[in-house]
A and B are shown apart, each in its own frame.
Chain A
Amino acid sequence: MTSDALQHTVAPLVYIASTVLFILGIKDLAKVRTARRGNAVAALGMLLAIVGALLELGLIDYRWIIGGVIVGTIIGAVFAIRVEMTAMPEMVALFNGFGGLASALVGVSVFWLDIEQAHPTTSVADTMGGAQAITVALSIIVGSVTFTGSLVALLKLQGRLKKGQPILLPSRHVINVALAVAAVVLSVWLYRAGADTAWIPCILLAVVSLVLGVLLTIPIGGADMPVVVSLLNSYSGIAASMAGFVIGNVLLIVAGAMVGAAGLILTQIMCVAMNRSLLNVLIGGFGATEASGESGGSSEYKNVKSCGPEEAAMVLETAESVIIVPGYGLAVAQAQHATREFATELEKRGTKVRYAIHPVAGRMPGHMNVLLAEADVPYEQLVEMDLINGDFADTDVSIILGANDVVNPVANKDPSSPIYGMPILNAYESQSVFVVKRSLSPGYAGIKNELFEYPNTMMIFGDAKDVLQSLIAEVKAL
């Protein structure tokens, strides 16, 4: 076969096969039974895409490509194998950022090759073609915003950036709009620029976009980070799609667009779960106004009762049904295995144990499911919010493990609360509630949790894992 046939016939056919595998892979990923196979199918699609790309490129110098792949594989594999299950949201944010960075770099690289290194005499648009010049600008913008936005999301999830609280610059909306306008103006400049000056708008565009990514993400509170990570996932898909327009590759356009749509749908699902509009999340500052009013005394807790594991174990001795409500605290304390062990201990005594999963518990949708699955909690014991909310009233004991805002009754009762209207788990309806928590500090929404003052609530202060281990010992001793 001639190299021409390989480049223009075989390579596109391989790309088509790759597209089909991506679609089948995502479809399988959406079903519990086939999810793992789906991931493997999608990975195979990626392998085919790489084979197709190598065929299309033909005889070139592969040394730098191979070098990049080896270094990237080592770094990616080390991250993926060493990361704790609890840090999964951070991991997705980080990988997402790298994807966005790659797309932006592709845009700049193609621009540099065609304009700066070729020294054409015509303008950028005339040299590259208008469509390509526009998509170069778009891939730089979307890719750069994805990169720095993901890094900020990562720092917020780790609690390193002001403990995840919103950072509100004065007149931030004006600044953001100004930066967005600047990005548009720079794109137009890039489009019309002559080859000798075009590097100026190119570099400025990258800088403005990188800053925009930071500024768009810092005002958003840590509680909303799942939504942001999901949205950035969508962006990274769109960035890949734009890179596809730049290099004229349909496979990138298709795969990127599918990921972009998927991320958008997931984002929407999460917003619905929190009863917020996407716009409301993105404007940011959620919880910050409340936090500033906190000194007024409304956040002071009165009549909070606390107890130790022994007392809790005595209550649990007579309990026929127990619902465990896991939250991010469980992830932080790495308490998933202890939770499972504790539940097994209760089950041995004939207690019915179930887990109530709030859609936004943890830092990502399904975060709790992944953690509990790691500890081999039976799948059918995990019950979604809508299905279990009616059962709390007939439940003897609810145990809140490191969850906060998702069980705050104020969301049902107080229209002035910032989380009013957010669907919550009605744990307060059960006969007794135990809240395992390190302190009375507020959750990510930054507000007081009335549940802690309820007469049927007992606080058990401590690290979730430590408390569970004492509880296991106490229950065994009964």
Chain B
Amino acid sequence: MTMGPLLMGLYVFILASFVGFEMITKVPPTLHTPLMSGANAISGITIVGAFAAATTAQPTVANILGAIAVCTATINVVGGFLVTDRMLRMFGSKKKRK
């Protein structure tokens, strides 16, 4: 059986969705906000696409848009993981003291 790239992509998309559903069904409410924030940081994976769109330093429309995308995706990634860590650090410090 051979599959075109679109079918292959769809296949992976659907399987990954199921993985996502399964992982999130069992989460204590305490972690909902950090989890939302952490998942949000992962959605910044679009940074890889942004890289692919900014591969030269010529001021063409495609490159300028790509560079802006790199910047906003980086904000999503760096900010997302840092802020999640800040939240979770608070849960952590309490554990140690007990």
Distance of A274 from chain B, by nearest CB (Å): 14
Interface size class of B (residues with CB under 8 A): 35 or more
Which chain A positions have C-beta within 8 A of B87?
85, 88, 370, 373
Q: For the complex, is A63 an interface residue (Cβ under 8 Å from B)?
A: yes
Question: How far, in angstroms, from A83 to B84 measured CA to CA in the complex?
Answer: 12
Interface of A, helix, strand, loop or mixed by DSSP: helix
> Given contacts A57-B55, A254-B12, is CB(A116)–CB(B61) below 8 Å?
yes
B78 touches A77 (CB 8 A): yes
Per-residue interface assignment for chain A, residues 242 to 283, with 1 indicating a CB less than 8 Å from any chain B CB and 0 otherwise: 011111111111111111111111100100000000000000
Question: How far, in angstroms, from A40 to B54 measured CA to CA in the complex?
Answer: 27
Per-residue interface assignment for chain B, residues 15 to 39, with 1 indicating a CB less than 8 Å from any chain A CB and 0 otherwise: 0111111011111111111111111
Q: For the complex, is A35 an interface residue (Cβ under 8 Å from B)?
A: yes
> Given contacts A262-B23, A262-B24, A265-B24, is CB(A42)–CB(B42) below 8 Å?
yes
Question: How far, in angstroms, from A71 to B54 measured CA to CA in the complex?
Answer: 15
Task: Give the residue among B23, B39, B72, B95 with the most A Cβ atoms within 10 A.
Answer: B39
Question: How far, in angstroms, from A233 to B43 measured CA to CA in the complex?
Answer: 8
B23 touches A240 (CB 8 A): no
Which chain B positions have C-beta within 8 A of A230?
36
Total A-B residue contacts, Cβ distance less than 8 Å: 392
Per-residue interface assignment for chain A, residues 92 to 110, with 1 indicating a CB less than 8 Å from any chain B CB and 0 otherwise: 1001101101110110111
Q: For the complex, is A365 an interface residue (Cβ under 8 Å from B)?
A: yes
Which chain A positions have C-beta within 8 A of B56?
60-61, 64
B45 touches A240 (CB 8 A): yes
B40 touches A236 (CB 8 A): yes
Which chain A positions have C-beta within 8 A of B71?
68-69, 71-72, 75
Interface size class of A (residues with CB under 8 A): 35 or more
> Given contacts A30-B24, A76-B78, A251-B48, is CB(A88)–CB(B17) below 8 Å?
no
Question: How far, in angstroms, from A79 to B83 measured CA to CA in the complex?
Answer: 9
Contact of A259 among B25, B28, B42 (CB under 8 A): B42
Contact of A53 among B9, B21, B48, B61 (CB under 8 A): B48
Question: How far, in angstroms, from A39 to B39 measured CA to CA in the complex?
Answer: 9
Question: How far, in angstroms, from A116 to B64 measured CA to CA in the complex?
Answer: 14
Which chain A positions have C-beta within 8 A of B78?
72-73, 76-77, 80
**At the interface with chain B, which of A175-183, A377-385, A424-432?**
A377-385
Contact of B24 among A40, A69, A249, A261 (CB under 8 A): A261
Question: How far, in angstroms, from A259 to B60 measured CA to CA in the complex?
Answer: 32
Which chain B positions have C-beta within 8 A of A99?
40, 43-44, 46, 72-73, 76
Distance of B3 from chain A, by nearest CB (Å): 12
Question: How far, in angstroms, from A374 to B37 measured CA to CA in the complex?
Answer: 16
Interface positions of B (Cβ within 8 A of A): 4-6, 8-9, 12-14, 16-21, 23-57, 60-63, 65-95, 97-98
Q: Nearest 9 pairs between A and B by C-beta? A: A72-B74, A261-B20, A68-B70, A76-B79, A365-B32, A76-B78, A80-B82, A131-B6, A366-B32
Chosen A-B contacts, 26 in total, with CB atoms closer than 8 Å, are A29-B39, A31-B31, A35-B31, A39-B84, A40-B85, A42-B41, A42-B81, A52-B48, A64-B63, A73-B74, A73-B78, A80-B78, A91-B79, A91-B83, A99-B44, A102-B73, A103-B49, A233-B43, A240-B43, A244-B49, A254-B16, A259-B43, A263-B36, A369-B33, A376-B93, A376-B94
Interface positions of A (Cβ within 8 A of B): 22-23, 25-27, 29-33, 35-36, 38-40, 42-43, 45-46, 49-50, 52-54, 57, 60-61, 63-65, 67-69, 71-73, 75-77, 79-81, 83, 85, 88-89, 91-92, 95-96, 98-99, 101-103, 105-106, 108-110, 112-113, 116-117, 131, 229-230, 233, 236-237, 239-241, 243-266, 269, 357, 359, 364-367, 369-370, 373-374, 376, 378-379, 382, 384
